[in-house]
Every structure is written in structure tokens, then in C-alpha cells.
Amino acid sequence: MRSTVIQVTTGSREAVHDLTSECERFAAEAASEAGGDGLLHVFVPHATAGVAILELGAGSDDDLLSALGDLLPADDRWRHAHGSRGHGRSHVMPAMIPPYATVPVLSGRLALGTWQSIALVDLNVDNRERQVRLSFLAG
């Protein structure tokens, strides 16, 4: 297995951050060293962030944030209440958008669908710096 950690700055707003190019680069290098096929595992070691595979750039990222805002409002209903208003919702979100995803790698390329991208989803405006662990498991 080969593994690396990338640093992501999400800023002071809720974010859907595209990780696809970093994942493609890492998978291609790791697959080349390992001889071809395998699995890319993307993991966010944070209690308030997730990893999603979805279409990005055509409004879907904003739609996702809007849907999460409807499901998990940033208000005072949350028992886990420290940090910014509604912070507790960030701790609930990974139950819906898990902190990991696994993608097949075939001949050094991610086997994503035509419009699929890999994204970090982060509602926690109190923690702007994130780590994402990329691991390649050779087949």
C-alpha cells in the first residue's frame, strides 16, 4: 500500500472542494509503481467533514450545500454547541456524507463516471485546514 496526506484549505465558508486532480495524480503515480490496477481510498480524518462523489461545476456543489442546509440547519437546535452557530450539525454530517470513498483504478486511471468528481465536503467554518489521506492498494 502507498499512502500520502494532502493539505486542503477550505476557507471561512461551507465548501465542496474538488479533490479529483490530486486523486488522479496520486493514483497514476502509485499505479505505475505497483504495476497497474488497484483501489484508491480517500479518507478525511476529521469529525466534521466528508468525501462525496458527484458532478461538480454545474451547480451540483451549490445544490449539495443547499440540501445540507435544509437537512442540517445552522441554528441553535444542536446539543453539541461550541464554536460557530450550528456547529453541531457539522458533527452529524459525516453520518450522511461519510469521511471516505473508494474508487477503482484501472491501468493507472480513476474509474469514475463521465461527470463524477471526488470532493471534500466541509460545513465546519471553524476549521479551515483539512488533511485528506490518499491510499492506493494494488490489485
pLDDT of residue 84: 79
pLDDT level of residue 126 (50, 70, 90 thresholds):
confident
pLDDT level of residue 133 (50, 70, 90 thresholds):
very high
* Residue 78 clears pLDDT 90, i.e. is over it: no
Q: What is the mean pLDDT of residues 95-111?
A: 97
Average pLDDT taken over every residue of the chain: 93
pLDDT of residue 21: 98
Extract the runs of DSSP E, i.e. beta strands, from 10-99.
Answer: 15-18, 38-43, 49-54
pLDDT of residue 136: 97
pLDDT of residue 88: 86
Q: What is the mean pLDDT of residues 111-136?
A: 95
Supply the DSSP symbol for 80: S
* Residue 35 clears pLDDT 90, i.e. is over it: no
Q: Rounded to the nearest 5°, which phi and psi values hold at 25?
A: -60, -50
